[in-house]
């Protein structure tokens, strides 16, 4: 399934894509380490858990641990594949934006947005513009990114 289906409503999809950027970047940067840790859990010997309660012996515990590890690695690889597909789709469009457009969109919509509802005031102060102009620039940048991602709106 194409990554574009996740963002079917173009304008809302563009906002969702901006919010997903940091998560996808995190997935791409950390999946190898997560897979390595999962493989180590699969290969390690389980230690007894001395909590004072009687335990039932499970002769298939090692096999179950390996199967669970394989399933988890498959999930991590699929998540990584989707993140790479997202980046191949989103990053070229994002790079086409000017620095000011990127700044405005990151300030308004980024998941790391530290400004919250005060984003417009931060943009006003940073760019030395009025509030209505800040909103207009946000809308223009969002429209520009939407066209770059999806084509004509």
Q: pLDDT tens digits for 43-84?
A: 866 666 677 776 777 778 788 888 999 999 999 999 999 999
- Is 32 within the bounds of a domain? yes
pLDDT at residue number 54: 67
- Is 83 within the bounds of a domain? yes
Number of domains comprising the chain: 1
Across 23-45, average pLDDT: 91
pLDDT at residue number 64: 86
- Is 113 within the bounds of a domain? yes
Task: Provide CB contacts within 8 A for 124, sequence distance 6+.
Answer: 130, 131, 134
- Is 3 within the bounds of a domain? no
Q: What is the mean pLDDT of the chain?
A: 87
- Is 53 within the bounds of a domain? no
- Is 50 within the bounds of a domain? no
Give me the domain span that covers residue 18. 8-45+61-150
Q: Flag the least confident range among 14-23, 78-87, 106-115.
A: 106-115
Residue whose tokens read 């943009």? 123
- Is 108 within the bounds of a domain? yes
Across 89-100, average pLDDT: 96
pLDDT at residue number 49: 67
């Amino acid at each position: 399934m194409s990554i574009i289906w996740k963002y079917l409503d173009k304008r809302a999809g563009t906002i969702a894509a901006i919010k997903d950027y940091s998560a996808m970047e995190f997935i791409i940067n950390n999946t190898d380490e997560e897979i390595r840790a999962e493989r180590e859990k699969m290969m390690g010997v389980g230690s007894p858990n001395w909590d004072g309660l009687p335990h039932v012996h499970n002769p298939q515990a090692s096999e179950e641990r390996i199967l669970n590890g394989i399933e988890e690695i498959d999930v991590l690889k699929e998540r990584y594949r989707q993140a790479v597909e997202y980046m191949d789709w989103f990053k070229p469009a994002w790079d086409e934006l000017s620095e000011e457009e990127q700044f405005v969109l990151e300030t308004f919509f980024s998941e790391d947005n530290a400004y919250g509802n005060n984003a417009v005031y931060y943009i006003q102060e940073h760019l030395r513009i009025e509030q209505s102009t800040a909103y207009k620039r946000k809308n223009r940048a969002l429209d520009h990114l939407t066209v770059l991602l999806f084509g004509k709106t």
